[in-house]
Structure 1
Amino acid sequence: MRQDCYGITGTLRHSESTQILQNFAKDPDLKAVLERGLRLLKQQITDMEYIMSEYRLPLPCRPPADAESVIRVEAISDVIFSGVSLRASRAFFPVHIIAFQQSTSAKLRGKFKTFLNREMDLYDKLLVYGQLKGWVDEPPAYRV
């Protein structure tokens, strides 16, 4: 069960960083995509907290309710935020996979599998959006 607990703490940390990115993003469409990701993360956190309370496990500290900043970082563009969001989403795949692999509870494995599938859907949306905006570095085309 200790490995199962790691899944929720990782999700909590991920939600705070997503909220910070959303606060600094300027593009309204990017903000909407990040908001969707944040809603997904909050649902995952709620699900995991419920399961942890059923097992009477101590819950990790929650991040602040709002990661609002008084500083407006104008030098950082939405291109940067988009890239950071993509990398963060991609980096979270192994967290869900490892939590799935190490869980001995069928109920929890089902949750982690759902989390992974939703993360993959979100990543796909972030990638397609970034490509539409021209924010994703595409590999060069090879000619034979």
Structure 2
Amino acid sequence: MGLGSLIKKVKKREDVIDIQEAFNIYSLLRARYVSTQTVQLFKNFVHDVGWEIILNKFQNNFENQIDNLEKLGEKFRIIMPNRPPVDVKFATRLNGVTDDYIYKKIYHDLVAQLMSLNHAVRSTSTNDNLRHIIIQDLIGHFEDFDTLYKFGKLKGWEETYPTYKTAISQEEEQLSTSEAFHIWDHIVMRYEQIELIGIFSSFAHDTEFKVILQHGLYIYNKQVKKLEQLALKLNIPLPNRSALPVTAPIDPEMITDKFMYRIILSWELASLDAHVRATIETIRNEPLRKLWSGLLNSELEYYDKYLKYGKMKGWTRVVPIYGEPVT
């Protein structure tokens, strides 16, 4: 049985937000205002026509996000940051502000926004609709980030990164040290998660929860096998695997399903962080970037369902509600 079929009974609370969600709306809107101003400013100095087209696309995306966030702020009566000017114009061009510099500045701004959005996804737990909006913004930002990176690479604006040294020559693009690390790190993380879920499976009391744990084991084992094959192909040392799970001799009453659920939820959040960092720091190998992107999108979908399931069971934390919504 999938998580989707189990959460249909969840009562929706889209008419309220908690105190952290109120701050997330404010913080994300403030960041979008600054992002829009930054793009408007740099468009005055752009020389490359293709670069200007990409910046226009980013600006349109930011403005759509601003519109959604402003509506949410109005609905929930949140004090909003000051709105920026409609546009930023300069009468002259400065040759010292190069396309290369603009690229690096926009690149670092997008990375900061990705980390901010990831935190907002993690901390938006009360309002499912708001979390869905933020998840879509995160996915959209990664699409912009991918567009930006590929364009910068095409133009030769990307830096030369430390190469992962291996005796085996790579037919395609060489790995960077960060890319090799993230493959190894993901395998370690999945080994630990598989071991933990295997232990919890023997202690789970709720039948549905046990099925969810077993399904999680299936998915993680499938992912880790793919990562193991990739590591072997790229000559990356594999870490030691965890011991095979054993049947517990006792069934301690103190290990509750709620406790196990929350531990696994924290691992879900750790996985999201790992996928985000891996995608950002994969700066050479295009197939590897697609792999991390796929893992991130799958994890976001599963995390959303897993959180809703926990809310249905009454196992999640209850964050204080913010104010009263407009009726």
Q: Give the equivalent residue in structure 2 for 1:90.
A: 269
Q: Do the aligned partners of 1:8 and 1:48 also contact (CA within 8 Å) in 2?
A: yes
Instruction: Report the CA distance between 1:101 and its aligned residue.
Output: 2.1
Matches within 5 A, 1:116-131: 116-131=296-311
Q: Mind listing any 5+ residue stretches in structure 2 that lack a counterpart? A: 1-179
Q: Do the aligned partners of 1:4 and 1:102 also contact (CA within 8 Å) in 2?
A: no
Q: Give the equivalent residue in structure 2 for 1:66.
A: 245
Q: Give the equivalent residue in structure 1 for 2:144.
A: none
Identity of aligned residues (%): 28
The number of equivalent residue pairs is 144
Q: Which amino acid aligns with 1:88?
A: W
1:16 to 185, 195, 199: 195
Q: Give the equivalent residue in structure 2 for 1:75.
A: 254
1:41 to 213, 216, 220: 220
1:99 to 252, 274, 278: 278
Distance, in Å, in 1 between the alignment partners of 2:261 and 2:192 is 18
Distance, in Å, in 2 between the alignment partners of 1:29 and 1:11 is 22
Question: Helix, strand or coil for the counterpart of 2:265?
Answer: helix
Q: Which amino acid aligns with 2:184?
A: C
Q: Mind listing any 5+ residue stretches in structure 1 that lack a counterpart? A: none
Tell me the TM-score normalized by structure 2.
0.41
Q: Do the aligned partners of 2:184 and 2:237 also contact (CA within 8 Å) in 1?
A: no
Distance, in Å, in 2 between the alignment partners of 1:15 and 1:73 is 21
Q: Deviations over 1:81-108 (max 9, x none)?
A: 1111111111221111222222232122
Question: Helix, strand or coil for the counterpart of 1:135?
Answer: coil
Q: Do the aligned partners of 2:187 and 2:228 also contact (CA within 8 Å) in 1?
A: yes
Distance, in Å, in 1 between the alignment partners of 2:213 and 2:292 is 21
Question: Helix, strand or coil for the counterpart of 2:251?
Answer: coil
Distance, in Å, in 1 between the alignment partners of 2:186 and 2:303 is 18
How much is the aligned-residue C-alpha RMSD, in angstroms? 1.8
Q: Which amino acid aligns with 2:185?
A: Y
Greater Cα radius of gyration, structure 1 or 2: 2
